[in-house]
Amino acid sequence: MMMSSKPKKFFNRELSWIDFNQRVLEEAKDPRNPLLERLKFLSITASNLDEFFMVRVGGLQLVRKAGKRKADASGLTPRMQLEAIQKRTRQMIDEQYDCYTNSLEPALAAGGIVRIKPEELNGEQEQYLMRLFSDEIYPVITPVALQEKLPTPALQNLTLYLLVRFPPESGETEDRYAVLSLGKPLERFISLPAENSHVFILIEDVIKKHIGRWFSGLTALECALFRVTRNADIEVREDEASDLLSGMASILEERRWSNCVRLEIEASASRSMQNFLGSLLDTPPSDVFRINGPLNLKDFMPLAQIEGFSELKSEDWYPQPSPQIDRHQPMVEQIAAADILLYHPYESFDPVVRLIEEAARDPSVLAIKQVLYRTSSASPIIAALADAAETGKSVTALVELKARFDEERNINWAQRLEQAGVQVVYGVQGLKTHAKVCLIVRRELQGIVRYVHYGTGNYNDSTAKLYSDISFMTCDDALGSDASAFFNAVCGYSQPSGLRKICMAPLSIRNRLIELIDGEIERSRQGQKAQILLKMNSLVDEILIEKLYEASQAGVRIKLNVRGICCLQPGIPDLSKNITVISIVGRYLEHARIFYFYRNGEEKVFISSADWMPRNLDRRVELMIPIEDPPSRQRLIQIIKTHCDDTVKSWTLLSDGTYVRTAALPGRKKKKINSQQFFYEQACEAVRNAARLTRTTLRPHRPADKK
């Protein structure tokens, strides 16, 4: 990010996000990474850009069209932000396609994964494609003529289309056009017969080759692939929606046909074809991106996960069984004996699923209460909640319908749960419920006992293999009481009262964080050691950033591990010289939020569902939980300190807004620390140590162990 000679106190949020996606792209460009791992990262950057344009760019365009000119904390107006975004994203797209076309595709071909063009087909492949085209492609696709006198066909968000241009009819001057949809159920990649390699062709190349089959008697002047990105920054007006469920369904429908914020078209397309589409979609040239390669690199993710070709992949890391967990003993008995802390995906998410599944079957369990923000497509947790309700337990599920891009799935889950007898609640009006908590109420000999799972990630068994998150399971009386108060507040009309340990946004998290930072400031001013370590996804909140600046000026040593957006400017004399910021980009998405305050040796540690952003602290229901159990607290301290010491997969944010690989910094210690690899190896070693102590055959989980 280019900065003026007089540094500002805040970086722009949108450009900081682009910096994050650039760090992901650097993993795709890094020749030290295996080829298919690089292709995976490239696909992720494309997926990230799609969401960025739909939400952030779409929102900024609406603000600009509304005539708002107020500058953000970095000094950029909406127009200035959009101009900077255009420049940066065009540069990024050029780098994406340079990486794919000039690096990955040739290297993959050399490794046996070969994309071929129609002119490269051999006789056997030609015959195979001809049969496939006639039997499975041609019958599915129906071309639609684009004529002035006819309504414009709806072009769906993020769907691939082929635009075909024909010469004008006799006596006319305007070219004619038709469009073919390449969306579902068609597969983008078509495998072809080949020996000792995986050969494929893209469906758009097949359709272009046979385009004449659809237009007998016409001459196609050109064909070009294009894709429309539509604004998804649309929210339901809860104060006007009598039924939130139907209101969200309307929003989903509206997003399908909202205004175009980006038009991608093949670079080979003529300007007349581009102008036609721009006029059709009311899209100015500034929002048109000419793509020099296959559109929608996100589609290449399945290719990155192709079976075989182990020499082109990273070594598999499998979630390990935690030595804290005995698979033969009920989860509630283990939690009653000691608090349990798990670090996913190094340790398996299965105990969390087990806890809920066992509770559903346990006759002593009276009630289960859970927040569901994002779940997997075949969620065992949803199934367990439904089973519990059907067997007569009191089950309450707070399903957040406003979880962006998961709304449709959550609507379906909500309806299924209601049919099973679950009491489904749709959250607090005007707020998203983003907290991660499950409460199990059980009758035992000594009375009612509450078992609680607090987490930093979603109850999603699929992403739990890809995201790093913390799970904390306890039957601590105060934390159980707080969980009850939380559910009473968000499911009813009451204010959360009598919270003994946890903090809840939008009511108290920011104030509690300010108190904790102030405590370190005061100790530093008294000459005592003062230190703050923070791990989160994004740091945007101006109030908390200002407080961190104040702490730095007071001499508090602050290390920030911020994966994505960071608006704080580190390393500025008299402002932030005591603050360092790193970002880790590795095989797992860093998602855990851990906050550490030295507290004169008392070492206060918290986990949270909330990032330090206004949306989390002011417009969402979030939780921050103190971890007081000594073994769990010490483990969290090790986790955050190890991540802060990463020198292999971390990037350091400089005062001018640029990120550099930490290993490349002058004076950097020579010891190489890959924190993600460290925690995976630690999890494997813990399994081996447990096996030695118990003289069992327990060993690190690998594919052979599945038998």
Helices and strands in the chain, H and E counts? 20, 27
Instruction: Measure the CA–CA gap between 231 and 226, rounded to whole angstroms.
Output: 17
Distance CA 290, CA 587 (A): 31
The token pair that represents 101 in the structure block: 């076309």
Q: Report residue 42: phi and psi, to 5°.
A: -65, -45
Q: Which two tokens stand for residue 183?
A: 């969306």
Q: Alpha-carbon distance 233 to 248, whole Å?
A: 13
Name the active-site residue from 198, 344, 434, 591: 434
- Is there a contact between 643 and 468 (Cβ–Cβ < 8 Å)? no
Neighbours of 75 (CB within 10 A): 12
Question: Is residue 189 helix, strand or coil?
Answer: strand
User: What kind and span of H or E run contains 322?
Assistant: none
Q: Is 210 a catalytic residue?
A: no
Distance CA(442)–CA(459), nearest Å, equals 21
Phi and psi torsions of 465, nearest 5°: -90, -10
261 Cβ contact list (under 8 Å, min separation 6): 53, 54, 57, 58, 61, 229, 230, 231, 287
Q: Which residues contact 469 (CB under 8 A, 6 or more apart)?
A: 343, 344, 345, 455, 456, 457, 591, 592
Q: Which of 369, 368, 371, 429 is nearest to 400 (CA)?
A: 371
Find out whether 226 and 295 touch, Cβ atoms under 8 Å. Answer: yes
* Residue length of the chain: 707
Which residue, 381, 583, 581, 550, is CA-closest to 464? 381
In Å, what is the CA distance from 459 to each residue of 223, 342, 369, 419, 455? 45, 14, 13, 21, 9
Q: Which residue has the tokens 């396609």?
A: 97
Backbone angles phi, psi at 331, to 5 degrees: -65, -40
Are 654 and 660 in contact by the 8 Å Cβ rule? The answer is: yes
In whole angstroms, give the CA distance from residue 146 to residue 154: 11
CB 286 within 8 A of CB 300: no
Measure CA 52 to chain center.
Answer: 11
Catalytic amino acids?
434
